[in-house]
Amino acid sequence: MEDRYIECHKKLMELSWRVIGKSRCNLSSLGFAWNQYSIMKALKPGESLTVSEISTRVHRKISNVTPVVDFLQDQGIAERVSDDKDRRVIRVRLTEEGINIRQKTMENHYSFLNGLYQSLTEEEMEKFLDIVAIFLEKVR
């Protein structure tokens, strides 16, 4: 039975890496790396977050988030602003252009992701979601 477990693991990892690879290629064609996209996506229109808050939201170390925020700022997508209540605190927010870029990029990427799964029938999707839910529950 152990061989079956290994086989399941290998197939799951193969699927995961293929989807991740295709997602990264799509984002690259849009001008973004995965980490840039995830941070841009984490910044919701109208909100401002500290780098620490962004770090928590995207599950990355602050030292990995700061250069990406620098990139987004250099591209005119995000800007750093002083906190209204404590000027020592610096927050990051999307610019107006950044809000538009974020929306277009997310729409394009979601469309791309939908295309990956369109070949599945409704029944296959239900089976897939059921199996994933079972597995997620078991690996809690």
Give the Cα separation of 128 and 30 in Å (integer).
29
- We report the CATH number of the domain holding residue 79 as 1.10.10.10
Q: Is residue 106 part of a domain?
A: yes
Q: Please give the structure tokens belonging to residue 36.
A: 């840039």
- Model pLDDT, residue 1: 63
Q: Which residues pair with 49 in a beta bridge?
A: 92
Q: Is residue 124 part of a domain?
A: yes
- Model pLDDT, residue 140: 86
Q: Is residue 25 part of a domain?
A: no
Please tell me the pTM assigned to this model: 0.83
Q: What range does the domain containing 82 cover?
A: 34-138
pLDDT in tens, 82-117: 998 998 999 999 999 999 999 999 999 999 999 999
Q: Is residue 27 part of a domain?
A: no
Q: At residue 2, does pLDDT exceed 90?
A: no
- Model pLDDT, residue 96: 97
Q: Is residue 96 part of a domain?
A: yes
Question: Number of structural domains, the chain?
Answer: 1
Q: Please give the structure tokens belonging to residue 119.
A: 């070949």
Q: Please give the structure tokens belonging to residue 90.
A: 């610096």
Q: Is residue 61 part of a domain?
A: yes
What percentage of the chain has pLDDT greater than the value 90? 89
Q: Is residue 69 part of a domain?
A: yes
